[in-house]
C-alpha cells in the first residue's frame, strides 16, 4: 500500500504493509497529498528484537550522506540525496514510533526545500500565526490551551515555509493538538515564552535568540554539516520577522499585551 503525506508542499510517499500505512492515512487525513520524489518504506522485520523503549529516545547519527536512526526493534536509514528512506521495525512497533521516523524524514525533506521544522506552538490571531517557542516546560501547550477562542495550528511542531510573499506557518500532524480546518497562516511574530507574574514583551535578539531558535530545530540542529546553513536560515528569517520574549501569566490576558504592542 502507498499513501502520500503533504505538509505545505513538502511531500513524502509512504509505502509498506497495509496495517501501518492505512493507520497513518486514517490518523492524518487532512494531510493527504500527491505522490512525490521522496519515498519512505515502512517494513516489518520479525528478526529484530521487540522494542524495549520508545523510538523517539533514539537520536539521529549522520554518516556518508546518510541519516541513521537505530534503537532496539528499529533500524532506520535516510538517504537525502536519493530522496529515499527505509524503516525496518519489529511487527509490534507502535504507530507513534513509526510516526517519529516519518517526522525525522520530514525534517530533512523540509530543510532541503529551504524550510524549517520548528518545535513550537502556532496560534491563529487576526488572520496571522503567532509562534510560541521555548524549551520543554516553557508553556507552549499551556499558552495554546489558554487561547481557547483561537485556532491552534499545532502545539508542538510547525513547518515554517519561505515563499515569495514572506514566511508562512503550517500545522503538522506530529503534535498533540491540531486544528485541521486551518492549515496555514502568514507568520506574524516569534515569541519566546517565559512564565511570569505579569504579561509583558521584551526584546530578544543576538546570540541568545539564535541559540534558542537553533535548539528548537529538531534533527537538523545535531548535524554538523547542516548546522551552518541552519544558522544562516534563521538569521535571514530574523531580518524579516520580529522576535520577542513573552512573559505571561497562566491566563489568556497575554493576548491583550500582544494586541497593545502590535495593533
Q: What DSSP designation does 96 have?
A: H
CATH number at residue 210: 3.90.228.20
Half-sphere exposure of 36 (CA within 13 A, CB side): 23
Query: Is the per-residue pLDDT at 115 higher than 80?
Result: yes
Q: Are 234 and 133 in contact (CB under 8 A)?
A: no
Query: Within this chain, do residues 122 and 251 fall inside the same structural domain, yes or no?
Result: yes
Buried b (16+ CB within 10 A) or exposed e, 230-241: bbebbeebbeeb
Q: Which helix (H) or strand (E) holds 248?
A: strand 243-248
Residue 34 CA to residue 56 CA, distance in Å, equals 27
Residue where a domain stops, chosen among 97, 112, 127: 112
pLDDT at residue number 37: 77
Residue 105 CA to residue 110 CA, distance in Å, equals 9
Query: Within this chain, do residues 29 and 105 fall inside the same structural domain, yes or no?
Result: yes
Query: Within this chain, do residues 191 and 66 fall inside the same structural domain, yes or no?
Result: no
Residues 6+ apart with CB under 8 A from 105: 12, 38, 40, 78, 85
pLDDT at residue number 14: 98
Query: Within this chain, do residues 137 and 199 fall inside the same structural domain, yes or no?
Result: yes
The three-state secondary structure class of 185 is: strand
Query: Is the per-residue pLDDT at 193 higher than 70?
Result: yes
Query: Is the per-residue pLDDT at 35 higher than 90?
Result: no
Query: Within this chain, do residues 59 and 46 fall inside the same structural domain, yes or no?
Result: yes
Query: Is the per-residue pLDDT at 48 higher than 90?
Result: yes
Q: Are 12 and 105 in contact (CB under 8 A)?
A: yes
pLDDT at residue number 139: 87
Name the band, by pLDDT with cuts 50, 70 and 90, for residue 22.
very high
Domain count along the chain? 2
Q: Summarize the confidence of residues 186-208 as an average pLDDT.
A: 96
Query: Within this chain, do residues 202 and 167 fall inside the same structural domain, yes or no?
Result: yes
Q: Which residues pair with 66 in a beta bridge?
A: 63, 79
Query: Within this chain, do residues 147 and 95 fall inside the same structural domain, yes or no?
Result: no
Query: Within this chain, do residues 145 and 74 fall inside the same structural domain, yes or no?
Result: no
Other Cβ atoms less than 10 A from the Cβ of 201: the count is 19
Query: Within this chain, do residues 36 and 104 fall inside the same structural domain, yes or no?
Result: yes
Name the band, by pLDDT with cuts 50, 70 and 90, for residue 237.
very high
Q: Summarize the confidence of residues 151-180 as an average pLDDT.
A: 89
* Alpha-carbon separation of residue 140 from 103, 156, 190, 258 (angstroms): 19, 8, 12, 16
Q: Summarize the confidence of residues 217-241 as an average pLDDT.
A: 97
**Structural domain that includes position 72:** 2-112
Q: Summarize the confidence of residues 159-175 as an average pLDDT.
A: 94
Query: Within this chain, do residues 87 and 134 fall inside the same structural domain, yes or no?
Result: no
pLDDT at residue number 74: 98
* Alpha-carbon separation of residue 71 from 5, 46, 95 (angstroms): 25, 15, 15
Answer left, alpha or beta for residue 105, where phi above 0 means left and psi between -120 and 50 means alpha: alpha
Q: Summarize the confidence of residues 106-134 as an average pLDDT.
A: 97
Query: Is the per-residue pLDDT at 136 higher than 90?
Result: no
Query: Within this chain, do residues 120 and 248 fall inside the same structural domain, yes or no?
Result: yes
Amino acid at each position: 500500500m502507498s499513501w502520500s503525506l503533504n505538509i505545505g508542499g513538502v511531500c513524502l510517499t509512504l509505502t509498506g504493509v497495509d496495517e501501518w500505512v492505512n493507520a497513518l492515512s486514517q490518523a492524518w487525513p487532512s494531510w493527504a497529498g500527491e505522490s512525490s520524489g521522496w519515498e519512505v518504506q515502512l517494513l516489518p522485520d520479525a528478526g529484530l528484537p521487540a522494542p524495549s523503549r520508545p523510538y523517539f529516545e533514539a537520536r539521529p547519527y549522520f554518516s556518508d550522506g546518510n541519516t541513521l536512526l537505530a534503537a532496539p526493534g528499529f533500524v532506520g536509514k535516510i538517504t537525502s540525496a536519493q530522496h529515499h528512506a527505509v524503516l525496518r521495525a519489529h511487527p509490534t512497533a507502535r504507530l507513534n514510533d513509526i510516526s517519529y521516523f516519518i517526522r525525522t524524514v520530514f525534517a530533512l525533506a523540509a530543510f532541503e526545500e529551504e524550510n524549517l521544522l520548528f518545535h513550537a506552538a502556532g496560534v491563529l490571531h487576526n488572520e496571522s500565526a503567532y509562534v510560541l517557542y521555548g524549551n520543554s516546560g516553557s508553556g507552549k501547550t499551556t499558552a495554546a490551551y489558554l487561547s481557547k477562542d483561537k485556532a491552534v495550528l499545532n502545539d508542538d511542531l510547525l513547518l515554517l515555509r519561505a515563499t515569495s510573499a514572506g514566511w508562512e506557518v503550517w500545522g503538522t500532524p506530529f503534535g498533540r493538538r491540531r486544528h485541521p480546518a486551518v492549515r496555514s497562516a502568514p507568520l506574524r511574530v516569534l515569541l519566546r515564552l517565559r512564565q511570569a507574574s505579569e504579561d509583558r514583551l521584551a526584546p530578544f535578539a543576538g546570540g541568545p535568540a539564535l541559540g534558542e531558535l537553533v535548539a528548537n530545530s529538531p534533527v537538523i540542529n545535531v548535524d554538523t554539516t547542516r548546522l551552518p546553513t541552519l544558522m544562516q536560515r534563521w538569521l535571514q528569517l530574523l531580518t524579516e520577522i520580529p522576535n520577542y520574549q513573552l512573559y505571561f501569566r497562566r491566563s489568556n490576558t497575554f493576548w491583550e499585551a500582544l494586541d497593545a504592542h502590535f495593533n
